[in-house]
Structure 1
Amino acid sequence: MSSHIDPSVVEVHVPAPGGGRLWAERRGGGSPVVLLHGSGMDSRLWDAVAPALARHHDVIRYDARGLGRSDAPERTFDDIEDLGAVLDHFGLGSAALVGLSMGGETALDFALAHPDRVTALGLVGASVSGHDWPPSPETTAYAEARRRRDTAVLAELELSVWAAMGRGATGGELIATMVEENAARRIISEQHLAGAPARDAERQLGSVTAPTLVVHGDHDHPEIAAIARRLAADIPGARGHLVPGADHYLPLRTPEQLTTLLLNHLA
């Protein structure tokens, strides 16, 4: 029986700053692109995008600290330092960064801290540090679920609020599996995350120098849509794009559309 293992795909464990290891994967060839996932997810978010991107680019994706196959943190950590460690491990002085939600926030914070290391930005359904989220029943419920360490409720909230198109839509089964498997891990990870609360990228958007694409889905959370409009308006030269038929999990809902947008942006 023939093997379907792609020899161009390499999995590694990157030493994380302060201890532990980050799971990472590298595939393809060309100019480097790093894919960052959101909170409560892992790098499987990019399963339907990474292979197509890798036909044109050197694609790296990794599981953020404590999520997916990466080690749980035992002390405070900084997501920007982790991203820098991934770039350094692969010998990359600079790369394009494509991030969703929390991953987009990390990419943007990194671009502001290290502009010389970021060749382009793709912000997909991105959050942004410094943004004042309006109070709502769902944010209150999230805080309560975290306080009680109620992973079942946390996963249920994640799917109802952010995966609004449901389990039956494209990518729904993988989204549900990913969220449920990471629900307990995200509580530990978020408790150890340092740095982000003190950052304020929202008021520094005019300083972003990397060519930037801002993408969000038409079924995403209204506040994400508001952030996307702000990013597209305030980042110099940024281009905004609304993708129909996608909620917050856009890379799994509409992978072909997103891949086309990214390839055009990164060309």
Structure 2
Amino acid sequence: MIPDSSEHPAVPPRAVRVPAPGGGRLWAERGGAGTPVVLLHGAGMDSRLWDAVVPELARRHDVIRYDARGLGRSTPPGEPFGDVEDLRAVLDHFGLRQAALVGLSMGGETALDFALAHPGRVTALALVGASVSGHAWPPGPELAAYDAARRVGDTAALAELELTIWAAMGRTAPGGELIETMVAENAERRVVSERHCVVPPARDAEPHLGEITAPTLVVHGDRDHPEIAAIAGRLVTGIPGARGETIADADHYLPLRTPARLTELLRTHLPCVGSPV
């Protein structure tokens, strides 16, 4: 493949431990070259979610991904923490005044809240199967069981429901084996992390979507939970200039199910050297 004018000599990925606010370390990896992009994963998973996206994205971007507090290879929290503050710590550690943010599910919620709190630091947003702080989820037996398992710390039930509800395409679909591995390894860690994560009562992004100034792409899979599609519609109509895309044959774990299509959308949307920000 002949690189286009926006591609840069590759910088091999390098893993580091970022000091977390209040103590502990966040596992992070940085590689590639070009304009900076930070990838944020969802609850119950870790930065391996982006394994199939990073190599191509790093051809023209400085790509950073990290494991959220207590998940993956990051240390478990010993005191209350905030995910928005952790994201700021990652940017500050790498000396980045600005970056594009790509977040899935919980990671999309964090990216959106960060963009509202620090609009000058976000060059672009890509919200993938994103949740939104303050969103009222409709009642239903599956989601009720899922929330109950989280509250009581039933990690076996939580892992099973995570796969049933959010990875509905199953093990035989692309990325299935890695998805099952991540869910199993992070089920117990997730319970500990969520008990320490503090979300301020006033944090409610839905009424403030019109304040988002960063160019925004909203993506969801056609086989994701129906409420994710409803949230995506709300984001597209509420964020000025937002563009929505639905990807076929993808559930909530979209970056592993259809990485080529997602990467294509991200490469088109994210600012690169020489493009307007």
Q: Considering the TM-score relative to the shorter chain, is it more than 0.5?
A: yes
Residue in structure 1 matching 2:177, options 173, 177, 184? 173
Q: Secondary structure at the match of 2:85?
A: helix
Q: Distance in 1 between matches of 2:208 and 2:128?
A: 19
Q: Distance in 1 between matches of 2:12 and 2:99?
A: 19
Counterpart residue identity of residue 253, structure 1: R
Instruction: State TM-score, norm by structure 2.
Output: 0.93
Match of 2:87 in 1: 83
Residue in structure 2 matching 1:71, options 75, 88, 95? 75
Q: Distance in 1 between matches of 2:154 and 2:174?
A: 28
Residue in structure 2 matching 1:38, options 26, 37, 42? 42
Q: Distance in 2 between matches of 1:105 and 1:71?
A: 22
Matches within 5 A, 1:84-163: 84-163=88-167
Residue in structure 1 matching 2:22, options 13, 18, 22? 18
Tell me by how many angstroms 1:197 deviates: 4.8
Match of 1:265 in 2: 269
Counterpart residue identity of residue 181, structure 2: T
Q: Secondary structure at the match of 1:198?
A: coil
Instruction: State TM-score, norm by structure 1.
Output: 0.96
* Identity among equivalent pairs (%): 74
Tell me by how many angstroms 1:256 deviates: 0.2
Counterpart residue identity of residue 261, structure 1: L
Tell me by how many angstroms 1:136 deviates: 1.1
Does residue 182 (structure 1) correspond to residue 186 (structure 2)? The answer is yes
Q: Distance in 2 between matches of 1:107 and 1:96?
A: 9
Q: Distance in 1 between matches of 2:69 and 2:130?
A: 19
Asked if 1 retains the 8 angstrom alpha-carbon contact of 2:166 and 2:225, the reply is yes
Match of 1:201 in 2: 205
Cα 1:197–1:180 change in 2 (3 A) is farther
Q: Distance in 1 between matches of 2:238 and 2:231?
A: 10
Q: Any idea what the Cα deviations from partners look like across 1:196-249, whole Å, max 9, x if unmatched?
A: 553110110000000000000000000000000000111000000000010000
Asked if 1 retains the 8 angstrom alpha-carbon contact of 2:11 and 2:33, the reply is no
Asked if 2 retains the 8 angstrom alpha-carbon contact of 1:13 and 1:24, the reply is yes
State the aligned residue count: 262
Q: Distance in 2 between matches of 1:203 and 1:223?
A: 18
Between 1:254-263 and 1:137-146, the stretch displaced more is 137-146
Unaligned runs of 5+ in 2: 1-9, 272-277
Tell me by how many angstroms 1:143 deviates: 2.6
Cα 1:218–1:101 change in 2 (3 A) is same
Does residue 8 (structure 1) correspond to residue 12 (structure 2)? The answer is yes
Q: Distance in 1 between matches of 2:79 and 2:69?
A: 11
Match of 1:224 in 2: 228
Residue in structure 2 matching 1:59, options 48, 63, 73? 63
Asked if 1 retains the 8 angstrom alpha-carbon contact of 2:221 and 2:249, the reply is yes
Match of 1:253 in 2: 257
Between 1:148-157 and 1:225-234, the stretch displaced more is 148-157
Between 1:197-206 and 1:231-240, the stretch displaced more is 197-206
Q: Secondary structure at the match of 1:195?
A: coil
Structure 1 runs (4+) greater than 3 angstroms displaced: none
Tell me by how many angstroms 1:259 deviates: 0.2
